[in-house]
Amino acid sequence: MTQLGLPDDIHACLFDLDGVVTKTAVVHAAAWKEMFDAYLRERDGEDYRPFDAAADYDEYVDGRPRADGVRTFLASRGIDLPDGEPDDPPGAQTVHGLGNRKNELVLQKIRTDGVEAYEGTLRYLEAVRAHGLSTAIVSSSANCRDVLRSIGAEHFFDVRIDGVVAAERKLPGKPNPDTFLAAAEDLGVQPSEAAVFEDALAGMDAGRAGRFGYVVGVDRVGQTDALYAHGADIVVKDLAELGGTE
């Protein structure tokens, strides 16, 4: 293992954004809950079963592209909505309409409260780059670039594969490994030479499916066992635990 807490043959690090670099996983969970609860209340009346911001969030939406998150959660409740169009108005009763409503809520919350970075991750990123490893941000978010800019962290990443780039290149999102594989390829390394840093169960699945050299699960909410079950090689609560920052 290196000073960075990684196997010796790792030459690149692929980082998820929400929940790994920024403290936005909580914002996303709250926005999903507000949107789904409004929809379910309208559909089922006052005795609707609310969206669980921990269990439902982890299992069905965290880490997935927005539309996939809508579809996957609704399917868990036996609900099948038409996809609609990507520019459906927020709240329209289609997959994209509900997704756009959720995005509107996230942007509102970010505008009001701002975005905070995890200090341990920023220090780890500095160490990774100082050791000469290359880096990519791999996020399902279409707001990735704005969020990175708002915390002054754009310069930490050699490559960005986010929701915008994935749509352009028609890459299926997490739990498929394609966005991580594209990042490794853009950095000129084999998957076996790259480490994946993720807080989502869908991200662990992507790391395992892509046969990456090392998969680091970041546990911010007490789901260590689930992260291991989904393929983590190691689980930490903060990237500073891996080292590199002495």
Q: Just list the catalytic residues.
A: 16, 18
Per rule CB under 5 A, count of chain residues that contact Mg ion = 5
What single-letter amino acid sits at 58? D
List the interface residues with Mg ion, window 189-218 (CB under 5 A): 199-200
CB closer to Mg ion, 92 vs 165: 165
In whole angstroms, the minimum distance from the beta carbon of 46 to Mg ion comes to 33
Strands 194-198 and 214-218: parallel
Strands (E), the chain: 12-15, 134-138, 159-161, 194-198, 214-218, 234-236
List the interface residues with Mg ion, window 17-56 (CB under 5 A): 18-19
16 lies in the binding site for Mg ion (CB under 5 A): yes
Report the alpha-carbon distance of residue 203 to residue 172 in Å, rounded: 13
In whole angstroms, the minimum distance from the beta carbon of 168 to Mg ion comes to 21
Cis preceding-peptide flag for 191 (omega within 30 of 0): no
69 lies in the binding site for Mg ion (CB under 5 A): no
In whole angstroms, the minimum distance from the beta carbon of 20 to Mg ion comes to 6
219 lies in the binding site for Mg ion (CB under 5 A): no
Task: Catalog residues that contact Mg ion under the rule CB under 5 A.
Answer: 16, 18-19, 199-200
